[in-house]
Amino acid sequence: MTQQVALVTGSSRGIGRGIALALAEVGFHVAVNYASRREAAEEVADAIRARGVEADVFGGDIGDDAQRDELYEAVMRRFGRIDVLVNNAGVAPQKRLDLLETEPAGFDRLMRINLRGPFFLTQKVAKQMIALVRRDPQARPKIINVGSVSAYAASVNRPEYCLSKAGVGMMTRLFAARLAEYGILVYEVRPGIIATDMTAAVKAKYDELIANNITPIKRWGTPEDVGRTVAGIATDMLPFSTGEVINVDGGFHIRQL
Ligand code: NAP
């Protein structure tokens, strides 16, 4: 089988880094995307190459149309194909504000990065994947979106984040319905509380929630937890599922009485 290539957006740090390394472990070449921290992305690429596969770094703000297009073109120039797209890049609000005070500029910035960017990148990559399955019948392309428990858990101090992740949930189902006829499967991985730079600012709050049993599995999640899940999907472990949400949340989603 031809060497498969994965593009992981926002893989210089955190969950994206965990996903990129896990995909390398199972044999994918990896395109490592970052927004501004090139050095961190280079470190991830070095760690991937140490696993015996190829990697390169690609800068580009996923929320910016021109930069996103150039990211896609650059990955295609370097690798010639994208078998697995992982839409991981995402941001928290710059200011956590009560939803009665949410500001349009912050709302638009977050939606551009967390929803609009992944939507249009997926549209572009999906067309490439349709061409790929036509020229390589062995190709088994997949799109994996990193959503969040915030798709359904209402945090009234970051409504734009919750809305963006609810949108990612529908985006998963839309592309799943549209692309199944080509054998392109689409999934959402839905992390809970994961230890990364994003949650570092609210660590004390989440330490306390976990200590008070907010999750049946009583610990922080890790980027490795999410990475292993994505690697399982990417290696065809869910062959008759599409549009599926895989919770990686220590059981946070279970309502209890
Ligand atoms: P993180 O530690 O803050 O890392 C964010 C990554 O995304 C970095 O690699 C960053 O690149 C990149 N990035 C940020 N803005 C970007 C942009 N505009 N274009 C391209 N890349 C961009 O975040 P994380 O916690 O790993 O989160 C990753 C994903 O998981 C996000 O979609 C987030 O919403 C989701 N998630 C996280 C948690 C959690 O508990 N941490 C829970 C549920 C869902 P630079 O290094 O260059 O800045």
Q: What is the pTM of this model?
A: 0.99
How much is the mean pLDDT over the chain?
Answer: 98
* Residue 200 clears pLDDT 80, i.e. is over it: yes
The answer, yes or no, to whether any atom of ligand 1 lies below 6 A from the CB of 12, is yes
Residue 221's pLDDT band (boundaries 50, 70, 90)? very high
* Predicted pLDDT of residue 1: 66
Q: From CA 81, how far away is CA 138, in angstroms rounded?
A: 13
Minimum CA distance residue for ligand 1 atom 23: 198
* Predicted pLDDT of residue 143: 99
The answer, yes or no, to whether any atom of ligand 1 lies below 6 A from the CB of 118, is no
Atom of ligand 1 nearest to the CA of 87: 32
- Classify burial at 127, counting beta carbons within 10 Å of its beta carbon; exposed 0-12, middle 13-18, buried 19 or more: exposed
Question: Could you say which architecture CATH assigns to the domain 5-249?
Answer: 3-Layer(aba) Sandwich (3.40)
The pLDDT tens digits of the residues spanning 6-27 come to 999 999 999 999 999 999 999 9
Distance 33 CA to ligand 1 centre (A): 11
Distance 10 CA to ligand 1 centre (A): 6
Mean pLDDT of 178-206: 97
The answer, yes or no, to whether any atom of ligand 1 lies below 6 A from the CB of 90, is yes
Q: List the catalytic residues.
A: 161
The pLDDT tens digits of the residues spanning 121-159 come to 999 999 999 999 999 999 999 999 999 999 999 999 999
Report the relative pairing of strands 55-59 and 84-87 from DSSP bridges: unpaired
- CA 76 to chain centroid: 19
Residues contacting 237, CB < 8 A, separation 6+: none
The answer, yes or no, to whether any atom of ligand 1 lies below 6 A from the CB of 146, is yes
Dihedral of CA atoms 61, 67, 69, 71 in degrees, nearest 10, equals -70
